[in-house]
Structure 1
Amino acid sequence: MATADSILIFVLSLLVGTIGILAGARLVLDRDAGFVNAAVTALIGAVAWAVTSFFVGWIPVLGILLMLVIWVGIINWRYPGGWGSAIAIGFVAWIVAVVIVYAFAVVGIITPDVLGIPGI
């Protein structure tokens, strides 16, 4: 049962992260960003967040800032527009993910600890 729960949380996390990044890219870049590109970005971002968290996440403030810069850097690498656009995409993605996770929690589908966007 624990394996099934882990797989479900991973899939939901990837889906929430993908939808958030897709919404951010479409809003900020004003063009179709593509679901697959958003999913790949969410997956790479989640892996980078986890690895960075493992190595420096324990450092107060600096660890979290470094993790966030790396996550935004991946968005910058995957989408055009530079660092400003990447920060805006990341911010919109975070807001969308918070809304999705909150809505799922309100109806009892999940608890609010689903990941996919940093800090959710």
Structure 2
Amino acid sequence: MASIIGSVVGFIVSLLIGALGIYVGARVVTDTDDYGYAVITAIVGSLVWWIVAVLVGWIPLIGGLLALVAWIWVINVRYPGGWGNAIAIGFIAWIAVVVVLYVLAVLGVVTFDALGIPAV
């Protein structure tokens, strides 16, 4: 039972941190101020990333790149401004999550990963 609770808590914390990164990126790039929207984007983005990674992730270099493009595509669909803004949001989200996770990992609060942000 404790394992299930731990997994659920880990999922929620990871999701909220990933959504925070997307929220920060969207706020900086598009001035969008909606954390709930970022949470949905993180969930959809992680699902799309996972599906693409399962289907083509085995292809060296290209598989991971296609999964990343799929994740950026989700951001592009969810936020205004086109591909340039989507790439900027994704990059800022990644940086924000790395910073938050580094601080939390140093404090011993969480492990170094987040749902909704690739390669973190």
TM-score range, shorter chain: over 0.9
Structure 2 unaligned regions, length at least 5: none
C-alpha RMSD of the superposition: 1.1
Distance in 2 between residues matched to 1:34 and 1:51, nearest whole Å: 26
Report if the CA contact (8 A) 2:15-2:114 is conserved: no
State the secondary structure of the residue aligned to 2:119: coil
Change (3 A) 1:39 1:115: closer
Deviation at 1:114, TM superposition (A): 3.8
* Equivalence for 2:61: 61
Where 2:50 maps in the other structure, the secondary structure is: helix
Q: Distance in 1 between matches of 2:61 and 2:33?
A: 32
So what's the TM-score if we normalise by structure 2?
0.93
Equivalent residue letter for 2:94: W
- Whole-Å separation in 1 of the counterparts to 2:44 and 2:90: 14
Residue in 2 aligned with 1:118? 118
Output the CA distance in 1 between the equivalents of 2:5 and 2:52: 26
Could you tell me how far 1:59 is from its partner in structure 2? Answer: 1.5
How far residue 60 of structure 1 moved from its aligned partner, in angstroms, is: 1.2
Residue deviations 1:15-60 (CA, integer Å, cap 9, x gap):
011100010011111x233111111101100111111111211221
1: CA distance, partners of 2:34 / 2:116: 18
For structure 1, the residue ranges without an aligned partner over 5 or more in a row are none
Q: What percentage of residue pairs aligned between the two structures are identical?
A: 49
Contact 2:97–2:114 under 8 Å retained in 1: no
User: How far apart, CA to CA, are the structure 2 residues paired with 1:72 and 1:117?
Assistant: 10
**TM-score computed with the length of structure 1 as normaliser:** 0.93
Give the total of aligned pairs.
119
Measured after TM superposition, the shift of residue 91 of structure 1 is: 0.2
Q: Does 1:85 align with 2:85?
A: yes
Q: Secondary structure at the match of 2:116?
A: coil
In structure 2, do the counterparts of structure 1 residues 114 and 18 end up closer, same or farther at CA, with 3 Å as the change threshold?
closer
